[in-house]
Amino acid sequence: MNRLVLAIAVAALAHVHAAFAATELQFWHSMNGAAGEEVNALAEKFNALQHAYRVVPEFKGSDEASLAAGIAAFASGKAPHILQVSDSGTAAMMEARRAVLPLYRLMAEAGEKFDPRAYMPAVASIYSDSHGKLMSLPFDSSTAVFYYNKDAFRRAGVDPNQAPRTWFDVQAAALKLRESEATPCAYTTDWQSWVLVENLSAWHNEPIATRDNGFGGGDAKLNFNAELLVRHIGLMSSWVKSGLFTYAGRGSEGETKFASGECAMVTSSSSAYTGIARSARFEFAVSPLPYYDEFRGAPFNTIVRGASLWVPAGKKRAEYKGVAAFFSFLSRPEVQADWYQRTGYLPNTVAAYDLIKARGDFDARPGSEVAMKDLGRKTAAHSRGLRLGSFTQIRAMIDEELEAVWSQKKTPKEALDSAVERGNALLSRIERDRRKR
C-alpha cells in the first residue's frame, strides 16, 4: 500500500511539475564574442524575473548565415520563436508576410502594452511597413560618425577642438597631417558602402534608389550614380593618389588602424566607440559625418545599421505570450540603458535615451550622443534609409566597384554606373521571382 501511495504521489508531483514547467522560447541570433555574451545575459535576466518562460539564445553564425538558417527553418516548419535579422535582410522579411507575425499584432494579441511612438523615429522607420506599423522589434542599432585623433591634430598644427565640418575641412586637415608626418595614414573608413554611399546619400537627402529608396515598392531601381557620389568618390580617389586616404578593407579594419594610432581620422560606426576607447593610447573625439554645404539643406540625418527581432508565424498562443513578454522586457528604458552601457549600441526608445542622459552616461561615451543627435535630425524623403531586396549582395557589388576605383582600374563614374547596373539586374530578378509566386 505504501508503494502504491508513493507511486501516486510521484505521479502527481510529476504532473504538477509539467504543468508549471517553463515554456521554452528559441532565440536565434548572429552576435558573437562579447555581444553574444550580453545577449545571453539579457535572456538570463528575463528568465530569472519570471518562471513561466525560458528564453534560450543560440548563435547561428554571421548575419547572412543566421538569415539563411532562418529561411530554411521557416520552409521546414522548424523556425525558432525569435529570429534576429540584419537591416539588409528587412526587405526579404517584409516580403514573407505570411511566414511572420508582425510585432504590432503580436503585442496586441498578447495583451502587452505597446506604443510604436515610443521608438526613435529614425530607428522605427527602418522596420515599419508602408502604413507605419512596426513589423519587428528594433534590437542592436548604430549609425555612422567621424572619429579623429586629437593628439595627432596637435602635432600637425590642426585645432584639436575644432572637428572637420565639411569634406574639404577633412582634406585640409589631411594635408597638414601628411606634411607633418604626424601619423602614417591621414584618413580611412570602415564599411565603405554603408558609410560612403548609404549614409552619405541620406546625410544629403540624395536618393539611392527610386520609389523612395524602395519603401514605395519592390520594383525600385538603384540610381545613386549621380552628382553627389560621383563627386565624393572622385574626391576619395584623388586622396588615394595623394596618400590622404588609405583603404583598409570592407569591414571594421579602419577602426583597428585608427585605434592603433596608424590613421588619424576614420568614418565608422558609433558602436566602435567602446573598442576604440579600450585600445587607443591617445585623446580622440567624435563628431558628425562631414558633408558638402553646397547641397541645399544638408546635413539631414544619418541612417541605422543593425538588426531587429522577427517572430515566425505558426507558434502556439502561450509561446507568443512569452515572446511578447520578453519583447516588453527588452523595451524597458533601464534594460535598454544597460544594454547601451555594456555594448555601445544605441538606445531604441525615447525613454531610454532620456534615462541615459539623466544618468549622465553620455559623459563617459560622448560619441553616442553625437550619433543620437545625427539620427534625430530632420528626416526627408531620401534620408529615412532604404529597403531593397538582397542588399547584402548589392553592398558586395558596391565594395567591388569602389575597390576598382581605389586601385585606379576604373573612374568613379564607371564604377558607380557598373554598381547600379549590376545591382539593378539583381533587383529585376528578385522582382520577377516575386511576381511568379
Question: Cell for 14?
Answer: 510529476
Question: Cell for 380?
Answer: 526627408
> What 8-state DSSP symbol labels residue 297?
T
Write down the pLDDT at residue 18. 41
17 — pLDDT class (breaks 50, 70, 90)? very low
88 — pLDDT class (breaks 50, 70, 90)? confident
Helix (H) or strand (E) run with residue 405 in it: helix 391-406
Write down the pLDDT at residue 250. 94
Helix (H) or strand (E) run with residue 9 in it: helix 2-20
Question: Phi and psi of 270, rounded to 5°?
Answer: -60, -30
All structural domains of the chain? 2-141+305-368 (3.40.190.10), 144-302+389-436 (3.40.190.10)
Query: What is the chain's percent helix, strand, coil content, to nearest 5?
Result: 55, 15, 30
Return the ∠ at Cα 398 (arms to 286 and 177), rounded to 5°: 35
Write down the pLDDT at residue 425. 96
Write down the pLDDT at residue 381. 84
- pTM given for the model: 0.89
Asked whether the predicted pLDDT for residue 20 surpasses 80, the reply is no
Write down the pLDDT at residue 9. 46
The string of pLDDT tens digits covering residues 33-85 is 889 999 999 999 999 999 999 999 999 988 888 888 888 888 888 999 999 99
- The stretch 347-366 carries a mean pLDDT of 89
Write down the pLDDT at residue 437. 63
DSSP-derived pairing of the beta strands 137-142 and 305-310: antiparallel
Write down the pLDDT at residue 11. 46
